[in-house]
Amino acid sequence: MRGFFLFAGGIAIAIPALANDSVASTGAGGLVLQRTADIDMASEDLFVSADQIKIHYVFRNHSPRDVTTIVAFPMPDRDLTNELESNIAFPSNFHTLVAGEPVKTQLERKAVVKGKDYTALLHRLGIPVAPETVNNATKAMDRLSLAQRTQLQSLGLARDDQWDDDGKGMKHHLVPLWTIRDKYWWTQRFPAGRDLVVDHRYQPGTGGSVENQLALPELRHDQYTKQMMALYCVDQSFMQAVDRLARRQRTNSPGMPDQRIDYILTTGANWRSPIASFRLVVDKGKPNNLVSFCETGVKKISPTQYEVRHSNWTPKRDLHVLIIQPQH
């Protein structure tokens, strides 16, 4: 493909050592442009909640000529190795409007191991590149010949797993180890000397757990808890609010589920010039929910929403949002 390339935000996957009652979050981002002398980001209006990500862009083509390019939205990598032991949430339900009109995207899908593309091989063997579950890939690989199964193992696409079949002897099957790399894309014309409005929305890969460890004093000095507090900029006032809610619930278990949303902001640093006008709104869902994220100049604008504004801004870090939900 020729021309400049627009790429979506990079990938951040927060995967701690998960309990069975936890779901890891995956973060995508928004549309960004490789450095070019022609197109700037005039403004970006970003809305983030556990249910929806919405981005309203104004792109400005400063040149005296139209610029036609490829616009792409890469999904977070889906590593099937992680899905063997963890539940992981991925972004979904994508919608894009350009100048108010829906855009039809195409999907590029690859199966990758250590940077090498094995998509054609999996297609040839009749193995789903993006199985709905790991077990679906295993069933397909179990139908292969011994030579084919050996080939997959030698390439790092699968490993042999065995289990005791209720005393009937050891059973063997293959489990998938490849990474699924999806990218949605379309061709877009940026008119000469004019602004172009693009609206993009999707459901984030929201993670969470049924019991946030911050509600349990005995876990607050755990290394993972300290890392989590740093990631979401949890401060003393937030912890005091957690304690007040825990006392109010008056149960042996505080019962405070959490939600975690990741959004990749740092790819916005690829712009030729800073983002002229940036606005972020984080919505915590319900008025009695608690929310924490790393930003400066945060202003509460409604019972559930918090606003941040920047001018001539180049993002230096990604956005990680923690929402704690009291049950009573």
**Domains of the chain, with CATH numbers?**
5-108+182-207+262-317 (2.60.40.3680), 119-177 (no CATH)
**DSSP structure string for 60-86:** EE-SSS-EEEEEEEEPPPEEHHHHTT-
Q: How does residue 178 score in pLDDT terms, banded at 50, 70 and 90?
A: very high
Rounded CA separation 66/38 (Å): 9
Q: Which pLDDT value is given to residue 99?
A: 95
According to DSSP, residue 118 is labeled: -
Percent residues over pLDDT 90 in the chain: 55
Which residues are within 8 A (CB) of 102 and not within 5 positions of it... i.e. 6 or more apart?
Answer: 95, 96
Q: Which pLDDT value is given to residue 218?
A: 81
Q: Which pLDDT value is given to residue 217?
A: 80
Q: Which pLDDT value is given to residue 179?
A: 96
More confident residue, 70 or 76: 76
Low-confidence winner among 108-117, 165-174, 202-211, 296-305 (lowest mean pLDDT): 165-174
Q: How does residue 273 score in pLDDT terms, banded at 50, 70 and 90?
A: confident
Which has the closest alpha carbon to 47: 316, 294, 308?
Answer: 308
Which has the closest alpha carbon to 33: 153, 147, 217, 188?
Answer: 188
Low-confidence winner among 76-80, 148-152, 169-173 (lowest mean pLDDT): 169-173
* Secondary structure tally for the chain: helices H, strands E: 6, 24
Residue range 229-253: mean pLDDT, rounded: 83
Residue range 54-82: mean pLDDT, rounded: 89
| Token pair of 252 as six digits | 């042996």
Side-chain-facing half-sphere of 266: CA atoms under 13 Å: 10
Q: How does residue 216 score in pLDDT terms, banded at 50, 70 and 90?
A: confident
Q: How does residue 252 score in pLDDT terms, banded at 50, 70 and 90?
A: low
Which residue bears the tokens 């998509």? 119
Cβ proximity of 12 and 264 under 8 Å? yes
Which has the closest alpha carbon to 278: 297, 262, 260?
Answer: 297
More confident residue, 32 or 166: 166
Rounded CA separation 129/138 (Å): 12
Which residues are within 8 A (CB) of 255 and not within 5 positions of it... i.e. 6 or more apart?
Answer: 211, 215, 249, 326, 327, 328
Percent residues over pLDDT 70 in the chain: 85
Answer positive or negative: Cα dihedral of 59, 60, 66, 70.
negative
Look at the pTM and tell me if it is higher than 0.95: no
